[in-house]
């Protein structure tokens, strides 16, 4: 069984692959470029894929670019090149206080396109209400719950936004529309759209680097979030291996 893990940038991919290394002191395979495209990662041109093998399961970790469009394009391309049973969107993101403080993890029970729609005099209307498609992807409930339990994560909706929240007013607006939201990030819905187009189940896991709200770079804890992402995948790898031992598509 092979799992595709999609991150935005190389630092996130590195944290994931470190967590998936069976023994941290054991050197893993060198990163190699599997895909090419207009997206650029911190490590150089093109998309970067690192492969990790665990007992009973293999992982391809892709740094595919920032934002839902880049994530969807990179994921869709990768899914045409290999046979996968599960897609995981992973990386760091903002957490909704107080439920998801910096350094914590959030596993999505819903992947929500939070700013895809239209502004109206009566407020925001999502793309589903407009009649133009859907705005939510639901990960397999049992698998998401197992993933959250194994990693110590909050199980809650993760919002996908094209513009990161930077004001208290915007944070309040999102909280009013999505009162159960645990985190926001920029790629999950794009990854989920590509996975759905290929008939594959999807998970999303986010490590919280900052609170959703006024933009304060001095308060960001990116290093702590990346370390949490590593530890999360150290716990998540065996859970996914166990879940995928049966029918590779049973968790759709």
Contacts within 8 Å (CB) and 24+ apart, 25-31: 28/52
Contacts within 8 Å (CB) and 24+ apart, 13-17: 13/41, 13/48, 13/50, 13/61, 13/62, 13/63, 14/226, 15/207, 15/226, 15/227, 15/229, 15/230, 15/233, 16/61, 16/90, 16/229, 16/230, 16/233, 17/50, 17/52, 17/59, 17/61
Q: How confident is the model at residue 45 (pLDDT cuts 50, 70, 90)?
A: very low
Please measure the distance between the N-terminal and C-terminal CA atoms of the chain and give it in whole angstroms. 15
Question: pLDDT tens for residues 92-128?
Answer: 999 999 999 999 999 999 999 998 877 888 888 777 8
What's the whole-model pTM score?
0.86
**pLDDT averaged over the chain?**
85
Question: pLDDT tens for residues 158-197?
Answer: 999 999 999 999 999 999 999 999 999 999 999 999 999 9
Map out the domains of the chain with their CATH numbers.
Answer: 2-243 (3.40.50.1580)
Distances (CA, A) of 166 to 170, 184, 219: 7, 12, 13
∠ at Cα 68 (101, 149), nearest 5°? 40
In this prediction, residue 40 carries a pLDDT of 40
Question: pLDDT tens for residues 11-39?
Answer: 999 999 999 886 655 555 554 444 444 43
Please say if the pLDDT value at position 200 is more than 80. yes
């Amino acid at each position: 069984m092979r799992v595709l893990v999609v991150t935005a940038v190389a630092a996130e991919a590195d944290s994931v692959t470190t967590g998936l290394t069976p023994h941290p002191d054991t050197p893993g395979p060198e990163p190699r470029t599997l895909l090419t495209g207009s997206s650029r990662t911190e490590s150089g041109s093109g998309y970067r894929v690192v492969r990790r093998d665990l007992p009973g399961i293999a992982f391809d970790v892709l740094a595919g670019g920032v934002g839902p469009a880049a994530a969807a394009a990179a994921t869709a391309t990768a899914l045409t090149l290999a046979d996968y049973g599960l897609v995981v969107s992973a990386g760091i993101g903002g957490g909704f206080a107080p439920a998801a403080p910096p350094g914590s993890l959030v596993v999505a029970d819903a992947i929500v396109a939070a700013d895809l729609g239209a502004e109206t005099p009566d407020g925001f209307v999502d793309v589903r209400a407009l009649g133009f498609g859907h705005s939510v992807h639901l990960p397999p409930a049992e698998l998401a719950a197992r993933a959250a339990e194994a990693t110590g994560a909050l199980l809650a909706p993760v919002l996908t936004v094209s513009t990161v929240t930077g004001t208290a007013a915007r944070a309040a607006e999102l909280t009013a529309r999505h009162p159960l939201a645990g985190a926001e990030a920029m790629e999950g819905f794009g990854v989920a759209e590509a996975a759905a187009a290929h008939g594959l189940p999807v998970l999303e896991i986010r490590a919280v680097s900052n609170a959703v709200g006024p933009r304060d770079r001095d308060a960001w804890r990116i290093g702590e979030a990346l370390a949490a992402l590593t530890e999360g995948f150290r716990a998540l790898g065996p859970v996914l291996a166990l879940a995928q031992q049966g029918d590779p598509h049973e968790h759709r």
